[in-house]
Amino acid sequence: MLRFNEGVGLVLKEPGAEPRAAGIKDVAAAAGVSLGTVSNVLNRPDRVSPATRAKVEAAMAELRFVRNESARQLRAGRSRVLAYVMLDGSNPFFTDVAAGMEDAAEASDLSLFLCNSAHRPAREAAYLGRLEQQRVQGILITPVDPDLPLLGEIARRGTPVVVVDRTPGDTTHCSVAVDDVHGGEIAVRHLIEQGHERIAFIGNHTSVGQVRERRLGALRALAAAGLGPDHLVDLTTTALTVADGRGAGERLAGLPAPVRPTAAFCANDLVALGLLQTCASLRMRVPDDLAIIGYDDIEFAAAAAVPLTSVRQPRRSLGRTAAELLLAETTEPDHEHRQVVFTPELVVRASTLR
Partner DNA sequence: CTCCGGGATTGAAAGGTTTCACAAAAGTGG
Partner DNA sequence: CCACTTTTGTGAAACCTTTCAATCCCGGAG
x/- contact string, 23-42, with DNA (CB under 7 A)?
xxx-------xxxxxxxx-x
CB of 138 to DNA, least distance (A): 18
Question: Amino acid identity of 253?
Answer: A
35 binds, among a second copy, DNA, none (CB under 5 to 8 A by kind): DNA
Cβ neighbours of 210 (radius 10 Å): 23
Residues 6+ apart with CB under 8 A from 36: none
Q: Which stretch binds DNA (CB under 7 A): 45-53, 156-164, 238-246, 252-260?
A: 45-53
Neighbour order of strands in the sheet with 232-236: 232-236, 199-203, 263-266, 291-296, 309-312, 345-347
Q: Which stretch binds DNA (CB under 7 A): 20-28, 90-98, 178-186, 235-243?
A: 20-28
CB of 51 to a second copy, least distance (A): 27
State the Cα torsion 273-118-154-139 to the nearest 10°. Answer: -60
Q: Which stretch binds DNA (CB under 7 A): 75-83, 183-191, 237-245, 265-273?
A: 75-83
The answer to whether 11 contacts DNA (rule: CB under 7 A) is no
Query: Do residues 329 and 174 lie in contact, with contact meaning Cβ atoms separated by under 8 Å?
Result: yes
CB of 153 to a second copy, least distance (A): 8
Query: Do residues 347 and 272 lie in contact, with contact meaning Cβ atoms separated by under 8 Å?
Result: no
216 binds, among DNA, a second copy, none (CB under 5 to 8 A by kind): none
52 binds, among a second copy, DNA, none (CB under 5 to 8 A by kind): DNA
Q: Which stretch binds DNA (CB under 7 A): 64-72, 139-147, 195-203, 259-267?
A: 64-72
43 binds, among a second copy, DNA, none (CB under 5 to 8 A by kind): DNA
Quick one: which H or E segment has residue 136?
A: none
* Residue 61, CA distances (Å) to 14, 22, 55, 56, 248 in order: 17, 11, 10, 9, 64
CB of 122 to DNA, least distance (A): 22
Q: Give the Cα separation of 67 and 133 in Å (integer).
A: 20
Q: Give the Cα separation of 324 and 330 in Å (integer).
A: 10
CB of 49 to DNA, least distance (A): 4
Q: Give the Cα separation of 202 and 328 in Å (integer).
A: 39
The answer to whether 91 contacts DNA (rule: CB under 7 A) is no
**Residue 307 in 3-state DSSP?**
coil
The answer to whether 3 contacts DNA (rule: CB under 7 A) is no
CB of 38 to DNA, least distance (A): 7
Nearer to a second copy, 52 or 241 (CB): 241
Query: Which residues of this protein are in contact with DNA, per CB under 7 A?
Result: 20-21, 23-25, 33-40, 42-43, 46-49, 51-53, 65, 67-68, 71-72, 74-77
